[in-house]
Amino acid sequence: MTNSLIIAPQWIGDAVMTEPLLRALSERGEQITVFAVPWVAPIYRAMEHITGLQATVDVPFQHGGLQWQARRGLAARIHSGEWGKFDRAYVLPNSLKSALLPWLANIPERIGYLGEMRYGLLNKRQPNPPRDARGAMVAHYLRLAGNDAANNWGLTPKLSVATLGSVPNWLADTKPKTYTVIAPGAEYGPAKRWSEAHFAELIAKLRVPVVLLGSAKESPLCEAIRDMALQASPTQIVHNLAGKTSLTEAIQIIASAQSIVSNDSGLMHVAAAFGIPQVAVFGSSDPRHTPPLNNRAKVLWLQLPCSPCFKRECPLEGAANMRCLNAITPSEVAGALRSLALR
């Protein structure tokens, strides 16, 4: 039996897209422990259907910084066998620092893509194609299990919520599938975010209650959207829960929703993994690279001459500024939602 350590990505959406890899490793007999930062770890706890996934361990690292002493200390605990003796490690991020733990812990087989001078840290390396030639990220992660893994195990991530906990108290008297989730944020930057005014106009058009989800720093954005929507439609019901839920609670809320509208974001991938009807609005990013893998998803993307640019902020000025997003209308999104309801 092979005991494997997974060094998880630090983005929610990327974590969801690693599920087929973990499922493939489990189905060929590997016993898996995932090391993940706390804001991503709940995603792996929602993979309880993967029988080989033995544990998810929160690791106290942050975006940026080498945090050398903390990594050395954790590597010593790994080497001592605190989580068992690992035969293999899969390093999913491309950074040098992400490859340090398995190397410092002297795990015999260390697998990952080339990136950031990791030649000595990884001893089973795969070429890392440029982003525009990489294809779907799910397949990119799955290839670490072997070149034929996608053919054997498929490419659709799944999440499950049976033991994540009860539905949050505020939702206890609300029947599932009677509200729409709106996730207007995108951690990457404003070039991936549909406008506040468009989201507000959409909410005013909907005939079901709306739940706004996002991080604490997205709460003002969500509150502004709520205020505009209620000005246009005072009888609409809008809950702004941005920053008021844990990721585990947000997963539960999404799993119980009638539908969701979002940008290309982590919550978009969470919704896709539950197979709920969804409309995903893409701007600077590329749905061929990070699509919502869900046959009940509708992607709205204007492939302009300048897109995908992968910029955090639109570099263009005047009428061209954010045109890839601004030209997608609330009526188009509302129509896409209605068409999904008829499927």
Could you give the domains of the chain?
3-153 (3.40.50.2000), 169-341 (3.40.50.2000)
Q: Provide the residue-wise pLDDT of the chain in tens; the chain has 343 residues.
A: 899 999 999 999 999 999 999 999 999 999 999 999 999 999 999 999 999 999 999 998 877 777 889 899 999 999 999 999 999 999 999 998 999 999 999 999 999 998 777 888 999 998 887 776 667 889 899 999 986 665 555 679 999 887 555 555 556 556 668 899 999 999 888 999 999 999 999 999 999 999 999 999 999 999 999 999 999 999 999 999 999 999 999 999 999 999 999 999 999 999 999 999 999 999 999 999 899 999 999 999 999 999 999 999 999 999 899 999 999 999 999 999 999 986 6
Q: How much is the pTM?
A: 0.92
DSSP collapsed to 3 states, the chain: CCEEEEECCCCHHHHHHCHHHHHHHHHCCCEEEEEECCCCHHHHHCCCCCCCEEEEEECCCCCCCCCHHHHHHHHHHHHCCECECCCEEEECCCCCHHHHHHHHCCCCEEEEECCCCCCCCCCEEECCCCHHHCCCHHHHHHHHHCCCHHHHHCCCCCCCCCCCCCCCHHHCCCCCCCCEEEECCCCCCHHHCCCHHHHHHHHHHCCCCEEECCCHHHHHHHHHHHHHHHHHCCCCCEEECCCCCCHHHHHHHHHCCCEEEEECCHHHHHHHHHCCCEEEEECCCCCCCCCCCCCCEEEEECCCCCCCCCCCCCCCCHHHCCHHHHCCCHHHHHHHHHHHHCC
